[in-house]
Amino acid sequence: MGYFLDNFAELMDADGAWIDIGMFIGGAGSSAAGWWTVIATVMLIGVLVKGNSDEQDHYK
Amino acid sequence: MEDQILALTADLAAVKSAAQVTNTMFAEMYYYVTIPLMVLIHAGFLLYEMGATRVKNVLSSGVKNLLAFAFTIAAWYLFGWWFYWALPTWPLDLAAGAGYMEISGIGYANAIALPWGDSAQYMGPNMADNASGVFWGAFALFAATTASIASGALIERIQTVGFVICAIVLGTAAWGIAAAWGWHADGWLVTEFGYHDFGAAGLVHAVAGFFALGVLINLGPRVGKFNADGSANHLAGHNMPLTVTGLMLIIVGFFGFLMACIILPGEGWSWYADKGTTIYGTPMTLSALAFNVPLAAAGGIIGAWVVTRDPFWMMSGCLAGIISVASGLDVYFGSTVIAVSMLAGMILKPCADWLEGLGIDDAVGCVTVHGTIGLFGVMMLGILGSGIPGLGAFAPDDTVAISIWGQFVGSIVMFLLGFVPGYVVSWIISKAGMLRIPDAVQERGLDAVKVPARAYPEGMASPESES
């Protein structure tokens, strides 16, 4: 999931113009974005479940 | 000669290219700036609600507010943004297909608004896309604002996680659908009824206000709010200056909120090459807001002062003044704004008292300021703006103009989009035991029970609590 280029010199073509970069999130074009979304969703739901459990303990 | 023409042509192309880059960067910056301005709304809500809370519950109110902000933004990324683009034509088109402008429908939303697959290119850094991020950011703050509006009504007795679930439902589903239907050029309320709500009086404020009412019915009042004979006690917050300053910060943030409602010209996603428009593609300028927002704020303060002489209600009147003209900020004349917003400021407190008389404990007048005045604002545009085109020049010939009927239908829809989800979700949460904080804990103070910090460690305490 590193940067999308090996070094910043590659951002320019031989004429010194910017290359057509487009999406440059880690894992662009792969399933990585979807997996990160799954991980984030599970973490958020987990926080709510644990948070509710702790909160109910406070009220006992 | 030919060489000179070629050189001039090349120069012209370079100038046009540079001008386009400037326009694109200006547009990106314009929407980007609206985001921190709207964060000020949340700074305001934080001060406002903590000030309106008794000392024993101050930090608990703050935690609730911060989590509503955080979870709504995350949920907006995961699915709220998708609702907005997917559902403008639904349920008139049960398959939720694309509308006339072909920038809506499930297929379109799947292509641009999901954080996975090919759509992910529009949901993260992309050098070929200067628009998606800033639009998403502005809409995320719209969503968080909608969710936070309901928060103040519920302070001092709603559980944290139960509230966060309500906030997610309000900020993403209820508001996302309201915006799809009434704040999108393909939205069926717009195309079929001419519904017009430039500054979101209905689709943000009324939805949030009546969502709060639905929750309040299941939540019940704070301990000590009502006496056995049904009469109400005033449970004063611990810090009026904090509350009033918070309200003023909300007004500052409103300028960002409202400027984000303008579509700039000259970009691929713009309605026109050389004119600013509303989200409906109808023409407008930022100057319209510069006239009308300060005038509305002034009218609301004055109207509330006439009736109450109370700084809390004067600042609530300031908010109400802006909300009362929000639907037509793009078309109203300044003097009209003064009159309408003063009226809103005057009716505010009597409406809130009426609601309290029904046994509803709305701690900060949220249902009235946002719900009642929101619908008041939607209907005022129907009365004052009937006949104005509801969509821009690109719209189909049979597009319906703004009308009293269209605004009335929109008002009913916005009421239901707020109240029904609010009532149903809070009922379910209540049945799961996650809605109301036990009375004994309320009496003791929420901060002492569940916050590992003290708001004022060197002094100030509610007389009956441990905080």
Answer yes or no: are the C-beta atoms of B113 and B81 closer than 8 Å: yes
Domain range for B272:
25-450
Cα distance from B449 to chain A (closest Cα, Å)? Answer: 6
Q: Encode pLDDT of A2-59 as tens digits.
A: 566 777 777 777 777 777 777 776 666 778 889 999 999 999 999 999 999 999 999 9
Residues β-bridged to residue B232: B226
pLDDT for B287 equals: 95
Q: What are phi and psi of B235, to 5 degrees?
A: -95, 90
Phi-psi region of B45 (alpha: psi -120 to 50; beta: other; left: phi over 0): alpha
Q: Is A59 on the interface with B (CB under 8 A)?
A: yes
B352 in a domain, yes or no? yes
pLDDT for A1 equals: 47
| Residue position matching structure tokens 């109450």 | B308
User: Is B78–A56 a contact, with Cβ atoms under 8 angstroms apart?
Assistant: no
The CA distances from residue B165 to A49, B148, B362, in Å, are: 11, 12, 19
pLDDT for B391 equals: 84
pLDDT for A9 equals: 75
Q: Is B449 on the interface with A (CB under 8 A)?
A: yes
- How many other C-beta atoms lie within 10 A of the C-beta of residue B94? 8
B18 in a domain, yes or no? no
Cα distance from B67 to chain A (closest Cα, Å)? Answer: 11
Nearest CA in chain A to B122: A23
> Which CATH number belongs to the domain containing residue B433 in this structure?
1.10.3430.10
Q: Is B142 on the interface with A (CB under 8 A)?
A: no
Cα distance from A34 to chain B (closest Cα, Å)? Answer: 4
User: Is A48–B164 a contact, with Cβ atoms under 8 angstroms apart?
Assistant: yes
pLDDT for B346 equals: 97
pLDDT for B97 equals: 84
B389 in a domain, yes or no? yes
Cα distance from B122 to chain A (closest Cα, Å)? Answer: 8
B462 in a domain, yes or no? no
Low-confidence ranges of chain B (pLDDT < 70): 462-467
ipTM of the predicted structure? Answer: 0.87
User: Which residues in chain B are closer than 8 Å to A52, comparing Cβ atoms?
Assistant: 159, 161-162, 434
Burial bucket for residue B71 (CB in 10 Å: 0-12, 13-18, 19+): buried
Sequence ranges of the domains in chain A: 8-59
**Total tally of structural domains belonging to chain B:** 1
